[in-house]
Structure 1
């Protein structure tokens, strides 16, 4: 396309953004209109993409980080012939694929869900890392950002990591339209302020007039020829460009234009320009799914081993068996034991440093390219990345997260390092799987099982060594549990997971010596939970006691309670959890101070049984 045709295509994208938002009665047409030239030139001149084969390994990847500008994206799809005008006008309607913010659950051309600002560029970094280091098919990653989201710290985590990785296959295009939701952005149209920041992080920077299609074209060509560093194109634009009543005016964010028909007329009317998007080059398949038989590490019953050690050894074994597994670390691989994977498979190990948002975002990026990522850090630090985990679920991304150093049992490091909220956080994520193994063989089996699950999967590991309870041949289906001791005369059921399983067994021994028989359930699958076994135990014993190295809210106790929210009578239930703010102490002292050790379990069990007898 020549200059005139590109200008006409940009006007079409504006018109269709106005029309789609008007048909919906909501949306963000003005945020779409500012970036029309940027996207017209990309679509017609620089993007290599086969819309009929969205998984083509050599397709360029486009991420709309400013996801509220979805009318612009859908207008691009119409121009490319991927959707028709009728579907365009179903924008934001019930059942439409064209949601208010795009998601890959609905549309095969969307790489990741966006809309929570500051996430598109970090995920784009993950996609670009996959492309440069392991896919190696030559595709480029294009990310359209808004200037408002540059206030997010995650943007600068991504900026530093992209430069560190020399991602010259990544181009960020920033639509600097000056206006945010409630008024002007922090730097307005001071493009130099943004350029200095990106340059300081090691990016090649280009400053342009974002409404000059020739300048945009030259900038994209320059980005494509830049080697050794990522490129950012900072484009000065006007929000609502082309419509006098909306252009560069405050108070119109997230609102359809008041007079869409007049706006369309002012923009030159409806058009139906079709773009022949350049096809990607021929490329090999991405990678083999399996390359060998999975030989998990084996531990002998009675020996002691930390579940974090078992995780690292099992992950390394999984990487040998499956060529599609990658590992990502938050600069704690020596503690989480992810470094064991690095030693065996250095080409598939990615150090993200202490940047947990980028860590999870990179995992989402790898997952979008068909890889199976395992991202590990301390359980406590994953809370920093919760919004990225939430959006991974919105994307339907298949990622494995591993949180080590969970609970007070880590000992002397104190509460800043203790994951005490992670089970609640992960249980609340839509479609998540939450696992908390108590011994090494169980951990190894669950590490392997996670790879075959959909959605967000979370494994919680323990710092200290614990006894091996299960044989290497034992199976641990997700959604199951293990009854470690039971009899026909049980008067109490103790439900535990992870470190508290061992305390529960000690307490059961003590109570048995007093004539109180106790059933012990290892609830290693916290979500989905084994409702059948829990209900059977409640019917047989009448009393349940849960104990967890986690805060009371949202963890194991709530998971157990959920098994009885079907209208049937509730059993007597007591929940032991960490209810005080820990300090520094030894692991045993921590468990005792929190009231979740064997002594506390036995005391609570006696009282529960006595109360049941009285009543």
Structure 2
């Protein structure tokens, strides 16, 4: 990855984070913490990794993405908006009664959303089904990506889907797990420990790679690894910081599902604008 490519992605990720703050502030509700921890991954997926067409969201041969941790819809919506699927100006309408941008992704109303999600554990099952369908239809170039939270993998249905993916050798499926260490009730290590996640994924038949989820070079390497794998699904385990990019939200469990008030909104946007200015000065 060149310096120019990295800077372009960092600038795009900063915009995605701004969109998360704009939308949750506008809604006076939502889930900024996990949206911010996954912002770099959303950015890479929609700006470099996935084959999609914002002018034709239902393109039959597109890659698919399933946000299994559906409550982090603000991050997905922001990435989709900045990619051109719908106007960025609509982000602050999140959760408004007459808005198409509801609190969880709805494939029937939001351009670019491939699966309606919200009930934790179910999204990855749908993603595995999509990957199996692509195999059945001999669409070997269609890849399916699913993003899960580390709290979400406490759900039993997740592991049933992993067994399914391994049994059918779904090497077109990439499962990404956001290991930010916090869920709504506290640290995942205290609520319901799932470590060692990597060893468990390997035991369930996945090829695994662990990365810093805020490092674009490592994200790129992980997907290059995914592209070379045959005969088994891939799991990307990304270590992240909940609330990444907004100082008072970072590693704070209270920001799992709380919107910034007017004062907090200004602080967050001032910080993100400063980060943007620093990045743009390097271009």
* Secondary structure in 1 matching 2:273: coil
- Indicate which of 222, 244, 247 corresponds to 1:244: 247
Q: Is the 8 A contact 2:174 2:226 kept in 1?
A: yes
* Counterparts of 1:133 and 1:174, CA distance in 2: 26
Q: Which residue of 1 aligns with 2:59?
A: 56
TM score, norm. by length of structure 2: 0.91
* Counterparts of 2:86 and 2:270, CA distance in 1: 23
Deviation at 1:269? 5.6
* Secondary structure in 1 matching 2:238: strand
* Counterparts of 2:260 and 2:226, CA distance in 1: 34
Greater RCO (Cα-Cα under 8 Å, separation 6 or more) = 2
Deviation at 1:88? 1.4
Deviation at 1:192? 6.0
- Indicate which of 270, 279, 283 corresponds to 1:265: 270
- Indicate which of 155, 161, 184 corresponds to 1:181: 184
Deviation at 1:191? 8.8
Higher Rg = 1
* Counterparts of 1:204 and 1:26, CA distance in 2: 37
- Indicate which of 144, 149, 153 corresponds to 1:150: 153
* Counterparts of 1:233 and 1:252, CA distance in 2: 24
Structure 1 residues 136 and 48: alpha-carbon distance in aligned structure 2, compared to 1, 3 A threshold: same
**In proportion to residue count, which structure has more helix?**
2
* Counterparts of 2:126 and 2:172, CA distance in 1: 14
- Indicate which of 216, 226, 230 corresponds to 1:227: 230
Q: Which residue of 1 aligns with 2:80?
A: 77
**CA shift digits 1:545-587 (9 cap, x unpaired):** xxxxxxxxxxxxxxxxxxxxxxxxxxxxxxxxxxxxxxxxxxx
Deviation at 1:53? 2.0
Deviation at 1:125? 0.4
**In proportion to residue count, which structure has more strand?**
1
**CA shift digits 1:161-220 (9 cap, x unpaired):** 1011000000011111110001011479x9961001110011000000111111011111
| 1:87 aligned onto 2:90 | yes
| 1:204 aligned onto 2:207 | yes
Segments of 5+ residues of structure 1 without an aligned counterpart are 272-615
TM score, norm. by length of structure 1: 0.43
Deviation at 1:270? 9.6
Q: Which residue of 1 aligns with 2:166?
A: 163
Deviation at 1:55? 2.5
* Counterparts of 1:92 and 1:243, CA distance in 2: 22
* Secondary structure in 2 matching 1:232: strand
**CA shift digits 1:237-292 (9 cap, x unpaired):** 01101222110012222101240111111122697xxxxxxxxxxxxxxxxxxxxx
* Secondary structure in 1 matching 2:21: helix
Structure 1 residues 160 and 240: alpha-carbon distance in aligned structure 2, compared to 1, 3 A threshold: same
- Indicate which of 124, 139, 144 corresponds to 1:141: 144
- Indicate which of 14, 17, 25 corresponds to 2:17: 14
* Secondary structure in 2 matching 1:89: helix
Q: How is 1:63-142 mapped onto 2 (pairs within 5 angstroms)?
A: 63-142=66-145
Q: How is 1:134-533 mapped onto 2 (pairs within 5 angstroms)?
A: 134-186=137-189, 193-258=196-261, 259-268=264-273
* Secondary structure in 2 matching 1:174: strand
Aligned residue pairs total 270
**CA shift digits 1:404-459 (9 cap, x unpaired):** xxxxxxxxxxxxxxxxxxxxxxxxxxxxxxxxxxxxxxxxxxxxxxxxxxxxxxxx
**CA shift digits 1:307-347 (9 cap, x unpaired):** xxxxxxxxxxxxxxxxxxxxxxxxxxxxxxxxxxxxxxxxx
